[in-house]
Amino acid sequence: MKKTIIALSAVAFLAGCAHMGGGHHGKGGHHGAHWGYEGAAGPAHWGDLSNDFALCKSGKSQSPIDIDTASVQPGNLGPIEFHYQPLDGFEVVNNGHTFKVPVSNGSYAVIGGKRYELVQFHFHVPSEHTIDGKPADMVAHLVHKADDGQLAVVGVLMSEGAPNPALTPVWSHLPKHEGKASGSGTVDLMAMMPADKSYYNYSGSLTTPPCSEGVNWNVLKSTASVSAEQVAAFTAVFPKSVRPTQPLNGRVVTLNP
């Protein structure tokens, strides 16, 4: 039963997010329910918009969270093993909530000894997770799926500074309206990340409807760089893209390795 629930959550996540809010759905949302980041369709009301979004209101393991570094416990998961291939020829999707890039080139990560295939990555400004109450200037969410259907997300926090080289090919093809654009050049996801890949790990949820739980969250401790111009290009299209932090409800956050 547990595996079935996880698998169904994954289907909902990938179909809706074929972003994740982390990720996101299109403007119509999951099962036709419209959701957004402001007003009557904003995060405070997601749980009331559809029965399918009930966990957005009633869930006890929701994301994002504030990571209180004083409460973080030592972890034993070891380093994340990244096996990412350069992305040649790609598609940038504007799904009404964020820019998403689907991935199907065999890239994967091993987290805690478990293999997760990389299926897409997308962005938020500022970061949805906060560290000691403070968000980063931007975040990339790299969304993975294991053979058993479980989702794992690697969050790459970014601070304003030098341009992030991995974003240049993507940012050159950002669709200003809902739809898709074909990109050119090569995206090197390893170049998107900081040199130090220590990470915070905890069990959470999708950060967009349907807010499904059981997501393996991994937020890199160190930040990568992103230029003010790259951030501005995102917010020019998506001025709001962040769900507020959610209660920890007794969950433990670990720092690995």
Pairwise CA distance, residues 159 & 142, whole Å = 17
Cα 14 to Cα 119: distance, rounded to the nearest angstrom: 9
Looking at residue 3, its pLDDT comes to: 42
Instruction: Provide the token pair at 19.
Output: 């972003």
Residue-range domain boundaries for the chain: 2-245
Q: What is the pLDDT of residue 185?
A: 94
Predicted pLDDT of residue 32: 53
pLDDT of residue 44: 97
Distance CA 236, CA 216 (A): 31
Q: Average pLDDT per run of 10 along the chain, which is 257 residues long?
A: 42 40 40 86 97 98 98 98 96 97 98 98 98 98 98 98 97 97 96 98 98 98 98 98 98 98
Q: What is the pLDDT of residue 2?
A: 41
Active site residues: 97
Q: How far is CA 74 from the centre of its chain?
A: 23
Q: Find all residues with CB under 8 Å of 153, minimum gap 6, and list them.
A: 20, 22, 141, 142, 143, 144, 215, 216, 217, 218
CA dist 76 → 61, 80, 145, 248 (Å): 21, 11, 21, 21
Tokens of 4: 């079935």
Q: Which has the closest alpha carbon to 191: 156, 152, 228? A: 156
Q: Which helix (H) or strand (E) holds 134?
A: strand 134-135
Amino acid (1-letter code) at residue 247: P
Provide the pLDDT for residue 224. 98
Give the residues across from 139 on adjacent strands.
124, 157
What's the number of CA atoms in the CB half-sphere (13 Å) around residue 244? 10
Locate all alpha helices (DSSP H) within 83-134, ordered by sequence.
none
Helix H or strand E encompassing 66: strand 66-67
201 CA to centre of own chain: 14
Architecture field, domain 2-245 = Roll (3.10)
The model's pTM is 0.89
